[in-house]
Amino acid sequence: MKRLKTCMIWCLCLCLLPWGQAKAQYATSVTITDITNATVKKNMEQSASQLLTEFNNSFSDGKTPSLQIKGLDNHGKGSILTMWEMAPFRCIETEIIERGYPTPNGYQIRNIPLFLKGLPEDEAYKEIAINFDKNGHIYDIFFALATHEVYAILNSENNEVKDLRSRQVILDFVENFRTAYNRKDIHFLEQIYSNEALIITGRVVRTKPTADNYMRGLSQEKIEYQIKTKQEYISALRKTFQNNERINIIFEDIEVARHPRYDEIYGVTLKQGWNSSTYSDVGYIFLMIDFRDENNPLIHVRTWQPEKYNGRDISKDEIFHLGSFDEIIN
């Protein structure tokens, strides 16, 4: 909220300045700590500053960023521009100092505040993480989870996954998974669902009222589940993306569990808020993710259940988990 207020004040100041003076305010300078290699650190700081400054100037000029940044390939540019097409954005800070974290593919910085144009106030503020390769060059960005959710995955003593590197890999996957829906990246989603994926969708339906139900005061709601193949799910998702100008996905209450017999198989349970141009809901998502090929993880199971039905919150015991699909892995 503090950063959002800062953003509003900053915008007002820009409107009052002559164009030449305002233009200089669009630069964002990035300083990165905890990176011991001086060359890598310099590359990270220069490319991050260049990227955020270009976002700011493109936002102001009403143009699409050119993204002529060293090390950023066409795939990375395409991913960023897909996010830009959803809603142009700019950084709301002129100076950023953040810690650099090692990742399996290089490095990462987090907590980069953005303001997204044209979204409702409660959706306009987001934070991104920036991924760098081992030389310190940017190769992708994605919308980051809330800080407390990141802490729950990386640092919580109650986390069943004790290995820090495994936690980092899972965090990276979950954040990229969410960002893929936000930027309607159907190609990424096609890749991460296994060809034999079990996908269960649900909806709350009202049953036909009966005299007995009226007399007993019972609710007329029940959950109706459907099992879909990967092809059916992706086809329906492609239509959803086409029919919605914007999609905003929020993940909360994330829990991670390791499979009791397969060390590289994890179950992730989370509460998802889905807000799009045509539809909104809140429900629980369960994912069974296979990290045996760490560079190409696969989702074997995805389920959705409503947060509430029959006038009550769904209980934790009713939410799908690893034990619900013990025979899936072979």
In angstroms, the CA 63 to CA 54 distance is 10
Give a yes or no: residue 22 inside a domain. yes
DSSP secondary structure string for all residues of 85-135 = HH--EEES-SEEEEE-EEETTEEEEEEEEEEETTS-HHHHEEEEEEEE-TT
Q: What pLDDT does 237 receive? A: 95
- Average pLDDT of span 25-51: 95
**Same domain for 20 and 110?**
yes
Counting residues of the chain whose pLDDT is more than 70, the rounded percentage is: 83
The mean pLDDT of 134-139, rounded to a whole number, is: 96
Q: Using the predicted structure, report yes or no on whether residue 24 has a pLDDT greater than 60.
A: no
How many Å apart are CA 8 and CA 15, to the nearest integer?
Answer: 11
Question: Of 42-46, 170-174, 317-321, which one has max mean pLDDT?
Answer: 42-46
- Tell me if 52 is assigned to some domain: yes
User: Residues 165-189: pLDDT tens digits?
Assistant: 788 888 999 999 999 999 899 999 9
Residue 300 lies in a domain: yes
State yes or no: pLDDT of 107 exceeds 60: yes
CATH for 24:
3.10.450
Residue 283, domain extent: 186-325
**pLDDT score of 34:** 96
User: Are 123 and 246 in the same domain?
Assistant: no
Query: Does the pLDDT of residue 13 top 50, yes or no?
Result: no
pLDDT in tens, 156-166: 665 666 677 78
Q: What is the pLDDT of residue 26?
A: 86
Domain check: are 135 and 247 in the same one?
no
Please report the pLDDT score of residue 39 as a whole number.
Answer: 97
156 within some domain: no
- Please identify, among 80, 110, 144, the residue that sits at the C-terminal boundary of a domain: 144
- Residue 260's pLDDT is what? 87
Q: Is the pLDDT of residue 129 over 70?
A: yes
Do 127 and 217 share a domain, yes or no?
no
Q: Is residue 211 part of a domain?
A: yes
> In the structure encoding, which two tokens stand for residue 43, read together?
């590359």
d(CA 87, CA 71): 24
Residue 173 placed within a domain:
no
Cα separation, 203 vs 248, in Å, equals 19
- The three-point CA angle 313-314-316 to 5° equals 120
Q: What is the mean pLDDT of the chain?
A: 85
Would 233 be classed as within a structural domain? yes
pLDDT band at 16 (very low <50, low <70, confident <90, very high): very low
Which region holds residue 297: left if phi is over 0, alpha if psi is between -120 and 50, else beta? beta
Q: Cβ–Cβ contacts within 10 Å for residue 46, how many?
A: 15
- Say what the pLDDT of residue 115 is: 95
| Cα 77 from Cα 96, distance rounded (Å) | 23
Task: Please say if the pLDDT value at position 128 is more than 60.
Answer: yes
Residues 132 and 194 in one domain: no
Same domain membership, residue 130 and residue 206: no
Mean pLDDT of all residues in 30-50? 97
Task: Summarize pLDDT for 190-206 with one digit per residue, the tens.
Answer: 999 999 999 998 766 66
* Per-residue confidence (pLDDT) for residue 330, from 0 to 100: 60
Instruction: Taking residues 45-57, report their average pLDDT.
Output: 97
Share of the chain above pLDDT 90, in %: 56
Do 34 and 117 lie in a common domain? Answer: yes
Query: What CATH number is associated with residue 276?
Result: 3.10.450.50
Of 28-37, 98-107, 149-158, 293-302, which gets the smallest average pLDDT? 149-158
In a domain, 224, yes or no: yes
| For residue 15, pLDDT beyond 50 | no
* Number of domains into which the chain is organized: 2
In terms of domains, do 138 and 199 share one? Answer: no
Q: The dihedral of CA 191, 196, 200, 201: what is its sign?
A: positive
Give residue-wise pLDDT tens across range 205-261: 665 555 554 444 445 566 778 899 999 999 999 999 999 988 889 999 999 988 988
Give per-residue pLDDT as tens, 72-96. Answer: 999 899 999 989 988 899 999 999 9
pLDDT at 290: 94
